[in-house]
Amino acid sequence: MEKYKIAKTLLTFETPLSPDIKSMSCFVNRYAVFAVSVASVLCMAAGVSAAQDGNRVSPLYFGPGALPVPDMPYVSERLYVELDYDHFTGFYGDMTETVFAEARIPLFSERVNLSLWMPVVEFYRYSPDALAHFRPLDGRTSGCQAGNVYVSVDFLLLKERRVLPAVVVRAAIITASGDGEEYARYFDAPGYFFDASLSKSFAIGNGFFRSIAVSAGGGFLCWQVSAHSQNDAYMYGVSAAVSTRLFDLSCAWQGYSGWIGNGDRPMVIKTDLSFKAGSHFRPLLAYEYGLRDWPWHHFRIGVGYVF
């Protein structure tokens, strides 16, 4: 019994730590916390880097119609339809020709539109440099594909007043109706976006020049990049326009910026020229140039009709 008491006393005896040992223990604990934090950050960075290297679902590595920068929203008071021929000359020697259609349908009120637009069919041709850049799963050099359908509801929240701008908001979905993911033409995945624009016009007079207008917009864009992940991007843009007795001319700087950084930050400039051929027809010309992550010259010729 005496031996048992001595052993218990030895086991439960606590030796007080010196101040130096306590200081060293605190330092070790802090260093361990710092090391774990750094390791966690490095692991997260490695994961993002892996996503950037392996994920090519972005406008830089697919056709020009896969996820172009949307035009800023506006509301048409009357039914408007448009049919265009688009020609894309790629920076890598590729070429795309597209038949494009658009409709803006007033709903219930002149302040609400149902809008639909899509590249109906496209014909494309890859150069050797383009094949090396886009790296499609199927290496054919030419073909034709149907495009994705876009559907949006556009609301004129506030009409323009003497000092206040007009405010338009839009909610849109991007269907996965397009073909050709294996040819690097369209994403086999849906998306959606919400955006808004503010615009203010200034009357000039009743002569040849009628008015000038400025607009600014922004929004949120999202598209699926894999079965379990998506890319989120913020949208931005500014534009200026002049209206004359014979035509309307506008120029815009727009883009969106995703978080992955795999060619998902396209930035473009756009110029549109719409002629006033009577009270219904609107022949038009347009040009678009990719400043970043959208490697094409885009030429458009078409005609719109206002009912």
pLDDT in tens, 144-154: 999 999 999 99
Across the chain, mean pLDDT equals: 85
Output the pTM of the full model: 0.80
Q: Read off φ and ψ for residue 221, nearest 5 degrees.
A: -125, 140
* Among candidate residues 135, 60, 91, 133, the one with its CA nearest the CA of residue 293: 60
Q: Give residue 106's pLDDT band: very low, low, confident or very high (50, 70, 90).
A: very high
Position 280 pLDDT exceeds 50: yes
Q: How many residues does the chain have?
A: 307
Q: Which CATH class is domain 57-306?
A: mainly beta
Query: Alpha helix (H) ranges present in 148-205?
Result: none
| CB 88 within 8 Å of CB 290 | no
pLDDT recorded at residue 139: 86
Position 6 pLDDT exceeds 50: no
